[in-house]
Chains A and B, each alone.
Chain A
Amino acid sequence: MRRNLRGILFMVLVMLLTISLTTWAEDKLVIVGFSDGDIEVTAAALKALPTVTKDVVSVNSSGTEKKFSITGPTFADLLAKFDKSQSSLEAIRFVAGDGYSIEVPVEVLQNRQIILAYLMDGEPLDEKSQPVRAVIPEERAMYWVRNLVKIEILGVDEQVAVERVHFLETAVGQLETVDYTYYESLDQAVSVQDLLTNLAMTDDSSIQLRAVDGLNKSEDQKIFSNGYIKVTGTDVPLFLSPEIPKGMYVKHILHFIQADAAVISMTKALEGLEQTTLDGIEGINVVTILDALGVVKNEIYRLIADDGYSVEVNAADLSLGIIYLDDKGRVRSYFSGLPNNTGVKGLLTIEAVK
Chain B
Amino acid sequence: MKLKLIITGIVILIIGLGLGSYLDEYLFVEKEEQYIPKLIVLGDVENILAITGLEEYDPDEFVYQNEEFLGIDLRRLIDKASPITDRYTIQLMGTDGLTAEFPGDNLTGCYITFTQKHGWEAINLHHPVSSNIKSLQEITIIADGSNWDRGMNLMTTEKNLLNITPGQALANSYTTYLNFEGSVQLENDDIDYQTKILTRKRILQLKDLLPEGTKGQILVFGKKGETTYHQEGFLEISGNRFNYLSPTRKEEIDNIQGIMINPPVNSIADTFYDAEHYLETGERVLIFLIDGFGYHQYTYVVEHGLLPFMSTLQPAKQALSVYRPVTNAGMAAMITGVGPEKNGVYSRAQKDMLVPDIFTIAEKTGKKSLLIEGDIKILNTGVEPILNLDTNGNGTKDDEIFTTAMENLSTDISLMFVHFHGVDDLGTEYGDLADETLDFITLVDGYIAQLVQGWSGKVIITADHGMHQIPGGGLHGVARFEDLIVPYIITEGGGKNE
Contacts and interface: CB of A to CB of B under 8 A. Distances in A.
A291 interface: no
Interface string B277-299: 11011000000000000000000
A107 B250 contact: yes
A234 B265 contact: no
A92 to B, nearest CB: 12
Contacts of B270: 245-246
A103 B269 contact: no
A10 interface: no
B225 to A, nearest CB: 14
B182 A99 contact: no
Nearest to A234: B281
Taking each of B181, B270, B280, which has the highest tally of chain A beta carbons within 10 Å of its own beta carbon?
Answer: B181
B184 A100 contact: yes
Contacts of B185: 100-102
B4 to A, nearest CB: 39
A183 B277 CA distance: 9
Given A107-B250, A245-B270, A247-B338, A142 B184 contact: yes
A143 B184 CA distance: 9
Contact of B273 (A99, A184, A242, A246): A246
A329 interface: no
Nearest to A102: B184
A102 B267 CA distance: 44
A99 B187 contact: yes
Contacts of B251: 111
A111 B281 CA distance: 39
A249 B181 contact: no
Interface in A89-106: 98-105
Contacts of A247: 267, 269, 273, 337-338
Interface string B172-192: 000000000111111110000
A99 B270 CA distance: 55
Given A245-B266, A245-B267, A140 B186 contact: no
Interface in B327-348: 337-338
Contacts of A234: 277, 280-281
Interface residues of B, number: 26
Contacts of B338: 247
A327 interface: no
Contacts of B266: 245
A104 B197 CA distance: 12
A103 B184 CA distance: 7
Interface in B246-285: 250-251, 265-267, 269-270, 273-274, 277-278, 280-281
Contacts of B337: 246-247
The B contact surface, by secondary structure, is mixed
Contacts of B269: 245-247
B61 interface: no
Nearest to A63: B38
Contact of B183 (A102, A111, A140): A102
Interface residues of A, number: 25
Contact of A100 (B181, B186, B278): B186
B498 interface: yes
Contacts of A245: 265-267, 269-270
The A contact surface, by secondary structure, is loop
Contacts of A249: 273
B47 to A, nearest CB: 14
B186 A184 contact: no
Contacts of A184: 498
A243 interface: yes
A168 to B, nearest CB: 22
Interface string A184-197: 10000000000000
A17 interface: no
B201 to A, nearest CB: 13
Contacts of A183: 274, 277-278, 281, 498
Contacts of A35: none
Contact of B274 (A104, A107, A246): A246
Nearest to B184: A102
A245 B338 CA distance: 11
A1 B49 CA distance: 70
Nearest to B339: A247
A244 interface: yes
B182 A103 contact: yes
A243 B181 contact: no
Nearest to B194: A101
Interface in B104-150: none
A61 B197 contact: yes
A183 B337 CA distance: 17
Given A99-B187, A140-B197, A183-B277, A242 B265 contact: yes
A100 B192 CA distance: 9
Nearest to B338: A247
Nearest to B252: A111
A142 B274 contact: no
B265 A244 contact: yes
Interface in A78-98: 98
Nearest to A235: B277
A61 B181 CA distance: 11
Sort A-B residue pairs by CB-CB distance and give the 3 closest, nearest first: A99-B187, A246-B273, A107-B250
8 contacts: A98-B186, A99-B187, A101-B187, A102-B185, A183-B281, A245-B270, A247-B267, A247-B269
Given A61-B197, A99-B187, 14 more contacts: A98-B186, A99-B186, A99-B188, A100-B184, A101-B184, A101-B186, A102-B184, A104-B182, A142-B181, A245-B270, A246-B273, A246-B274, A247-B273, A247-B337
Interface of A: 61, 98-105, 107, 111, 140, 142-143, 183-184, 234-235, 242-247, 249
